């Protein structure tokens, strides 16, 4: 064989090997573990944060708003609750579930709210609300907010009807006084000399009149004790006695009793 031909054949073989290489891919598995991060309650606010209660029997609504974040995304937050109110409020039980505010979720953060109906006898003072958020892994975070309940001194009273009284006779009738604010009340007797003596006594009354005729206010008295207190949602009868002087003209006499309560 001619060496020139051998060289050409060798060149062809080498060329074929280079043109059709054997290529085999290999896959490597990637592994990473993303840990759970507990949610955080980043803020708790109460609106209004200074509460003047409606009088009994009405309740007063306050709204608690919490901002919750979770580094695994807000979708990892499963539930948010008000777990305690300190001091506890009679008639308000916890936990109170908070509701996700529709559309508030973005990235790591979402907003939750709950409404609390405060009873009319909720004690005045400062309160702390604790909010707890949980995520899918069962981890939790808490945050607190505060609000203040103001003192309300308020009463309702019923009218006093002495009925039919003969001249020279007397009659006793009562007003039912109900405490409808969160402060227990009393009626101050200034100078401890009886009601309707000083203008700022807790109970004062007018003369009773019928046209131009009058029964003077010193014919009316009460045995109510200034030491007596009335608690929220409790009632008491305040008795009044009317002496109709002999010689009083017939007619229907009317007047006014003014009750001014003080915090007991």
C-alpha dist (Å) from residue 96 to 64, 78, 89: 10, 15, 13
Q: How far is CA 1 from the centre of its chain?
A: 109
Side-chain-side CA neighbours of 244 within 13 Å: the count stands at 23
Site string for Ca ion, 206-225 (x = CB under 5 A): -----------x--------
Site string for Ca ion, 30-59 (x = CB under 5 A): ------xx----------------------
Closer to Ca ion by CB, 132 or 196: give it. Answer: 196
Closer to Ca ion by CB, 70 or 132: give it. Answer: 70
> What is d(CA 17, CA 98) in angstroms, rounded to the nearest whole number?
72
State the DSSP code for 168.
Answer: T
Q: Which of 81, 73, 70, 76 is nearest to 137 (CA)?
A: 76
Q: Helix, strand or coil for residue 25?
A: coil
263 binds Ca ion (CB under 5 A): no
* Element at 16 (helix H, strand E): helix 3-19
Closer to Ca ion by CB, 59 or 142: give it. Answer: 142
Q: How far is CA 127 from the centre of its chain?
A: 10
Closer to Ca ion by CB, 51 or 203: give it. Answer: 203
Instruction: Choose, by CB under 5 A, the member of 60, 76, 118, 183 that binds Ca ion.
Output: 76
Site string for Ca ion, 79-118 (x = CB under 5 A): ----------------------------------------
CB of 120 to Ca ion, least distance (A): 30
Side-chain-side CA neighbours of 155 within 13 Å: the count stands at 27
72 binds Ca ion (CB under 5 A): yes
Prior bond of 154 cis (ω within 30°)? no
Site string for Ca ion, 114-153 (x = CB under 5 A): ---------------------x------------------
Closer to Ca ion by CB, 116 or 189: give it. Answer: 189
- What's the start-to-end Cα distance of the chain, in Å? 131
CB of 254 to Ca ion, least distance (A): 14
Residues of this chain that bind Ca ion (CB under 5 A): 36-37, 70, 72, 76, 135, 189-191, 193, 196-198, 201, 217
């Amino acid at each position: 064989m001619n060496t020139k031909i051998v060289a050409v054949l060798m060149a062809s073989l080498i060329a074929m090997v280079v043109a059709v290489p054997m290529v085999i891919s290999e896959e490597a598995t990637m592994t990473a573990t993303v840990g759970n991060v507990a949610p955080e309650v980043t803020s708790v606010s109460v609106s209004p944060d200074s509460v003047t209660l409606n009088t009994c029997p009405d309740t007063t609504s306050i709204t608690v708003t919490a901002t919750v974040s979770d580094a695994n995304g807000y979708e990892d937050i499963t539930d948010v609750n008000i777990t305690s109110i300190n001091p506890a409020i009679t008639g308000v039980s916890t936990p109170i579930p908070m509701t996700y505010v529709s559309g508030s979720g973005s990235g790591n953060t979402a907003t939750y709210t709950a409404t609390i109906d405060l009873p009319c006898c909720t004690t005045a003072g400062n309160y702390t609300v604790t909010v707890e958020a949980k995520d899918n892994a069962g981890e939790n975070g808490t945050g607190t907010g505060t609000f203040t309940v103001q003192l309300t001194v308020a009463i309702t009273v019923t009218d006093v009807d002495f009925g039919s009284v003969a001249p020279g006779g007397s009659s006793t009738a009562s007003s039912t006084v109900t405490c409808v604010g969160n402060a227990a009340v009393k009626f101050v007797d200034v100078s401890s000399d009886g009601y309707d003596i000083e203008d700022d006594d807790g109970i004062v009354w007018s003369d009773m009149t019928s046209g131009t005729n009058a029964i003077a206010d010193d014919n009316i008295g009460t045995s109510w004790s200034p030491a007596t207190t009335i608690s929220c949602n409790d009632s008491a009868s305040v008795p009044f006695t009317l002496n109709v002087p002999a010689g009083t003209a017939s007619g229907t006499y009317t007047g006014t009793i003014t009750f001014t309560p003080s915090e007991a």
